[in-house]
Amino acid sequence: MTDITRLRDFVKAMTALADSDADEGQLLARGRALLADLVRHDDWLPDEFALPGPTYRQYLLHCDPAERFSVVSFVWGPGQVTPVHDHTVWGLVGMLRGEEVSTLMLPAADGGPVQTGQVDHLRAGEVVAVSPSLHDVHVVSNALADRSSISIHVYGGNIGRIRRHMFDPATSLATPFVSGYSNHVVPNLWE
Ligand SMILES: [Fe+2]
């Protein structure tokens, strides 16, 4: 059986951080270090939360009871890609397995096409931040054509229940969406 201790310790540390009076910058800095510790080892994610599907999967691993943060495993099959989307809350993305590409997207104010910004390749062990106070719109895809990639995301809210936006690449038109989660059962942090 997979030893889930690392995830439990991460959730405990994130809860303590949420309980502190850290502002968003401090949350991102300290959360980033905690997430880097978590994704440094790929030996704790139970297999049922690492399964790819016909589209990318987002498995809820833990949601803070006060919805101050959530932890999600994103599983990308070969060639899978998100829509152009925003988050509306801060987020941290840590690469656990494989590699993904995050491309900043710049919606046009006048109804023109979405412009492409900086392209970041995220490799196993690396962590990046997203935030409405930095730039919050991007597209994420699996960088690998022959296998799944998995990233662990932490968001400053219950991300599967937050009303946010997808953008039409041709017109920059924003459409509200709520992502939900791929799973109905969360992992037992205490086994
Ligand atoms: Fe995203």
Find the 129 Cα to ligand 1 centroid distance in Å.
10
Find the 24 Cα to ligand 1 centroid distance in Å.
18
User: Which pLDDT does position 133 carry in this prediction?
Assistant: 78
Please enumerate in sequence order all residues whose Cβ is within 8 A of that of 12, keeping only pairs 6 or more positions apart, or say none: none
138-142 sheet: strands from edge to edge: 115-123, 99-106, 138-142, 84-85, 164-167, 174-177
Find the 167 Cα to ligand 1 centroid distance in Å.
12
Tens place of pLDDT for every residue, the chain, 191 residues? 799 999 999 999 999 999 999 998 999 999 999 999 999 999 999 999 999 999 999 999 999 999 999 999 999 999 999 999 999 999 999 999 999 999 999 999 889 999 999 999 999 999 998 877 777 899 999 999 999 999 999 999 999 999 999 999 999 999 999 999 999 999 999 98
User: Which pLDDT does position 135 carry in this prediction?
Assistant: 79
Find the 191 Cα to ligand 1 centroid distance in Å.
31
Find the 151 Cα to ligand 1 centroid distance in Å.
11
User: Which pLDDT does position 136 carry in this prediction?
Assistant: 87
Find the 46 Cα to ligand 1 centroid distance in Å.
23
Find the 85 Cα to ligand 1 centroid distance in Å.
6
User: Which pLDDT does position 126 carry in this prediction?
Assistant: 96
User: Which pLDDT does position 132 carry in this prediction?
Assistant: 76
User: Which pLDDT does position 134 carry in this prediction?
Assistant: 75
Find the 138 Cα to ligand 1 centroid distance in Å.
6
Q: Is domain 5-177 classified as CATH 2.60.40.10?
A: no
User: Which pLDDT does position 191 carry in this prediction?
Assistant: 86
| Local structure of 182: helix, strand or coil | coil
* Residue 124 and residue 97 in contact, taking contact as beta carbons nearer than 8 Å: yes
Structure tokens at 179: 């992502």
